[in-house]
């Protein structure tokens, strides 16, 4: 009986994988030199794909379901091993379970700033971060291109490659969009959708399907944020000359109230007040000198094509030679001229971004979508 049990233990009769982790992508069933019994039970659960490999060659692929292994449902392996029909002896093969569920909340971010030309601030360095989700859509391609022959594989093994792929694609997209830095927050949803479309072919090269991509934040350098804060403060304060005069009066009052007291203190206070008054007078003169320059700067605008700073009266850009007229679109409802990329028509108010629903799950899709990213249904 002991020898019989020993011989029986060499034959694998049940093949299955219960995944208790959240990030395992591939699991190799532990054959460990044992043989699989012909007629063994194979269980492939939902969000799994089982792949049989014979001497390094991918053979049969099993989708979710319960199978009794035989030559009928393993045609490729039968051919590779030159089995005859009805072969019932034990055999050796590697079995890999590929997890096809969505791997959500995967984070991406720029390790180095993205260089960008801005019409208002000139050259800028931007940082961005967000999350994305993906799944294995082609188990065979994934095993060939990425996995290899490891015992297991998780999301951390491919995380760096996918992050760099996303950042590279989004950097190129930000540069092509030419959206002013101060307006980027208005286009997070649109940029996220465009970024996802841009990543689809890149992820397919690995056997993946990217199911979502979100831009959480695009931030400016600290120095630029400080300048923006100062500009905002000036806008709240209003007239700069009136504010400077008020500050000068307050400073002279504080100097006159010098805590040293006495005639000496009064002299010091008066001296400080006189000196400060003279300095503020020079400031007013300098401010008045600079006023025409501010008006001159305000006469400059950015070229809508290359973002070069051009005189407002110019009809053509001296840098790229293109017309200074902004590109326009036609309203899809009333055909009126509208600003290129506008979401609503200024004449009739009709929205310019059209959506359609997936006929299977009612997920909101862009007009040019061919497949639903949620359920995979083909959309006409």
- Considering only residues 235 and 376, tell me which one the structure prediction assigns the higher pLDDT: 376
Q: What is the pLDDT of residue 68?
A: 94
Q: Are residues 9 and 73 in the same domain?
A: yes
Residue 267 lies in a domain: yes
* 8 A C-beta contact, residue 100 and residue 139: yes
Q: Are residues 94 and 119 in the same domain?
A: no
Q: What is the pLDDT of residue 245?
A: 67
Handedness of CA 153, 154, 155, 160 (dihedral sign): negative
Q: Are residues 33 and 59 in the same domain?
A: yes
CA nearest neighbour of 192 among 137, 136, 106, 130: 130
Q: Are residues 137 and 218 in the same domain?
A: yes
pLDDT at 300 over 90: no
The domain boundary residue, chosen from 302, 319, 344: 302
Q: Are residues 295 and 380 in the same domain?
A: no
Residue 313 lies in a domain: no
What CATH number does residue 190 fall under?
3.30.479.30
Q: How many domains does the chain have?
A: 4
Q: Are residues 113 and 215 in the same domain?
A: yes
134-172 exposure pattern, b = at least 16 Cβ within 10 A, e = fewer = bbbbbbebbbeebbeeeeebbbeebeeebbebbbebbbe
- Give me the domain span that covers residue 248: 239-302
Residue 346 lies in a domain: yes
R_g over Cα of the chain: 34
* Three-state secondary structure call for residue 101: coil
Furthest-apart CA pair in the chain: how many Å?
Answer: 119
Residue 212 lies in a domain: yes
pLDDT band at 196 (very low <50, low <70, confident <90, very high): very high
Q: Are residues 47 and 66 in the same domain?
A: yes
Residues 6+ apart with CB under 8 A from 121: 181, 224
Structure tokens at 34: 């044992």
Q: Given the DSSP bridges, would you call strands 328-330 and 300-302 parallel, antiparallel or unpaired?
A: unpaired
The domain boundary residue, chosen from 36, 71, 99: 99
Q: Are residues 273 and 342 in the same domain?
A: no
Q: What is the pLDDT of residue 239?
A: 59
The domain boundary residue, chosen from 257, 287, 302: 302
Residue 247 lies in a domain: yes
Q: What is the pLDDT of residue 296?
A: 44
Residue 69 lies in a domain: yes
Phi, psi of 350 (to 5 degrees): -70, 135
Q: Are residues 61 and 142 in the same domain?
A: no
Please state the rounded mean pLDDT for residues 300-323. Answer: 80
Q: Are residues 170 and 201 in the same domain?
A: yes
d(CA 2, CA 114): 69
Residue 231 lies in a domain: no
Q: Are residues 28 and 91 in the same domain?
A: yes
Q: Given the DSSP bridges, would you call strands 355-357 and 364-366 parallel, antiparallel or unpaired?
A: antiparallel
Q: What is the pLDDT of residue 243?
A: 63
Within a 10 A sphere around the Cβ of 130, how many other Cβ atoms?
21
Please state the rounded mean pLDDT for residues 96-107. Answer: 94
Residue 191 lies in a domain: yes
Q: What is the pLDDT of residues 199-253, one digit of tens each?
A: 999 999 999 999 999 999 988 777 777 777 776 666 655 556 666 666 677 777 7
Alpha helices in 205-258 (DSSP H): 222-237, 240-256
Q: What is the pLDDT of residues 106-123, one digit of tens each?
A: 999 988 888 888 777 778
Q: What is the pLDDT of residue 373?
A: 81
Q: Are residues 110 and 212 in the same domain?
A: yes
Mean residue pLDDT of the chain comes to 80
């Amino acid at each position: 009986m002991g020898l019989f049990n020993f011989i029986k233990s060499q034959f694998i009769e049940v093949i299955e994988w219960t995944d208790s982790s959240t990030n395992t992508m591939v699991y190799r069933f532990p054959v460990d030199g044992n043989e699989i019994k012909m007629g063994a039970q194979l269980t492939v659960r939902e969000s799994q794909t089982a792949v049989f490999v014979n001497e390094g060659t991918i053979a049969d692929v099993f989708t979710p379901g319960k199978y009794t292994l035989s030559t009928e449902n393993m045609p490729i392996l039968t051919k590779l091993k030159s089995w005859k029909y009805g072969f019932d002896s034990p055999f050796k093969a590697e079995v890999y379970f590929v997890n096809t569920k969505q791997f959500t909340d995967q984070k991406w971010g720029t390790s180095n700033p993205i260089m960008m030309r801005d019409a208002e601030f000139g050259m800028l360095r931007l940082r961005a971060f967000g999350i994305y989700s993906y799944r294995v859509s082609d188990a065979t391609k994934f095993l060939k291109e990425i996995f290899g022959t490891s015992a297991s594989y998780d999301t951390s093994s491919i995380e760096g490659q996918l992050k760099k792929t996303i950042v590279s694609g989004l950097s190129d997209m930000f540069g092509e969009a030419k959206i002013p830095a101060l307006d980027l927050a208005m286009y997070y949803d649109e940029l996220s959708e465009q970024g996802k479309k841009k990543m689809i072919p890149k992820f397919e090269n690995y056997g993946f399907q990217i199911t979502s991509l979100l831009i959480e934040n695009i931030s400016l350098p600290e120095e630029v944020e400080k300048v923006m804060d100062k500009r905002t403060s000036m806008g709240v304060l209003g007239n700069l000359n009136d504010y400077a005069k008020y500050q000068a009066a307050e400073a002279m009052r504080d100097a006159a109230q010098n805590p040293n007291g006495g005639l000496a203190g009064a002299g010091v206070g008066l001296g400080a007040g006189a000196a400060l008054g003279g300095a503020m007078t020079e400031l007013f003169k300098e401010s008045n000198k600079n006023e025409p320059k501010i008006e001159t700067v305000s006469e400059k605008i950015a070229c809508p094509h290359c973002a070069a700073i051009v005189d407002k009266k110019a009809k053509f850009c001296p840098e790229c030679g293109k017309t200074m007229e902004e590109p326009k679109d036609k309203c899809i409802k009333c055909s009126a001229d509208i600003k290129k990329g506008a979401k609503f028509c200024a004449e009739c108010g009709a929205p310019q971004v059209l959506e359609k629903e997936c006929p299977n799950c009612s997920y909101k899709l862009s007009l040019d979508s061919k497949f639903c990213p949620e359920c995979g249904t083909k959309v006409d």
